[in-house]
């Protein structure tokens, strides 16, 4: 019998925390929880969870700090932020720190479950490239979540690398935001989502890879169609 996916919920509002525990237990998850930031970080760093649902506004340590500390030791741990702070600045900050996605409060439980399932479904094609070359300057090592540019080493989160890997597997065409959400994030096609996740991840990748992120050479926007990763 396959083991249940393990979920950690870090949420200080008792009613929301209890409700989420009930929902995800009902959907077949093994659930643990924490009511404040320091306890949440301690549990998160145990490495025992397939996914972490992390509230941003917590006593002790806020969710942004917890996310940053998790990413300092584990670039692959899936993290979804739960946040009432839905300004562009707050969303960008969370995704820059390495969160895979965010869900704004108040949220639909059905959509939250769908997003959790989507992150956990990240099936990647066996034929996807393991090394990607951008011109003569950059060699990307998919397995090690890193790239080399001369003597410089560039580190990526798992989600950032998933985006690069999918674009690298489709070099002859532009890949739309919807396709990236479907194939990389695992969302059902046609799901009505208000999210800037793709755009923010593209911006993060450009800051890491491009000599001039404002004038991208490798990760380009094809107007009205999506994104392409060019080899040079």
Does the pTM exceed 0.85?
Answer: no
Average pLDDT over every residue of 1-22 = 90
Sequence-distant (6+) residues with CB within 8 A of 42 are 34
**What is the domain range of residue 184?**
131-229
Written as six digits, the tokens of 10 are 């870090």
User: Domain ends where: 56, 85, 120?
Assistant: 120
Please count the structural domains in the chain.
2
Task: Return the percentage of the chain with pLDDT > 70, whole number.
Answer: 90
Distance CA 38, CA 71 (A): 16
Phi then psi for residue 103, to 5 deg, are -130, 125
Distance CA 136, CA 216 (A): 16
Contact 40, 10 (CB under 8 A): yes
Residue 189 has pLDDT above 70, yes or no: no
Q: Is 126 part of a structural domain of the chain?
A: no
Q: Is 58 part of a structural domain of the chain?
A: yes
Q: What is the length of the chain? A: 232
Helix (H) or strand (E) holding 40: helix 37-44
User: Domain ends where: 55, 85, 120?
Assistant: 120
Q: Is 73 part of a structural domain of the chain?
A: yes
Contact 62, 36 (CB under 8 A): no
16-62 per-position pLDDT tens digit = 999 999 999 999 999 999 999 999 999 999 878 999 999 999 999 99
- Euclidean distance between the first and final Cα of the chain, in Å? 48
Same-domain pairing of 168 and 214: yes
Same-domain pairing of 142 and 108: no
Helix (H) or strand (E) holding 220: strand 219-222
Same-domain pairing of 136 and 210: yes
Range of lowest pLDDT (48-62, 115-129, 131-145): 115-129
User: Domain ends where: 120, 142, 175?
Assistant: 120
**Helix/strand/coil for 101:** strand
């Amino acid at each position: 019998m396959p083991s249940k996916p393990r979920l950690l919920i870090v949420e200080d509002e008792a009613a929301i925390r209890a409700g989420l525990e009930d929902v995800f237990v009902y959907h077949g998850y093994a659930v643990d929880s924490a009511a404040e930031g320091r306890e949440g970080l301690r549990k998160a760093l145990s490495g025992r969870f397939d996914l972490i649902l992390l509230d941003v506004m917590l006593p002790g340590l806020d969710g942004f700090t917890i996310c940053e500390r998790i990413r300092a030791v584990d670039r692959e741990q899936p993290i979804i932020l739960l946040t009432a702070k839905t300004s562009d600045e707050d969303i960008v900050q969370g995704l820059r720190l390495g969160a895979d996605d965010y869900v704004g409060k108040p949220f639909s439980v059905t959509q939250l479950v769908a997003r959790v399932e989507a992150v956990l479904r990240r099936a990647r094609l066996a034929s996807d490239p393991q090394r990607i070359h951008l011109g003569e300057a950059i060699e990307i090592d998919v397995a090690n979540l890193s790239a080399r540019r001369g003597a410089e080493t560039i580190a990526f989160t798992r989600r950032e690398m998933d985006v690069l890997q999918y674009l690298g597997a489709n070099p002859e065409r532009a890949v739309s935001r919807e396709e990236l959400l479907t194939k990389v994030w695992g969302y059902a096609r046609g799901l009505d989502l208000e999210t800037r996740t793709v755009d923010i991840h593209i911006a993060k990748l450009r800051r890491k890879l491009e000599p001039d992120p404002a004038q991208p050479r490798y990760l380009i926007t094809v107007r009205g169609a999506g994104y392409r990763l060019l080899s040079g």
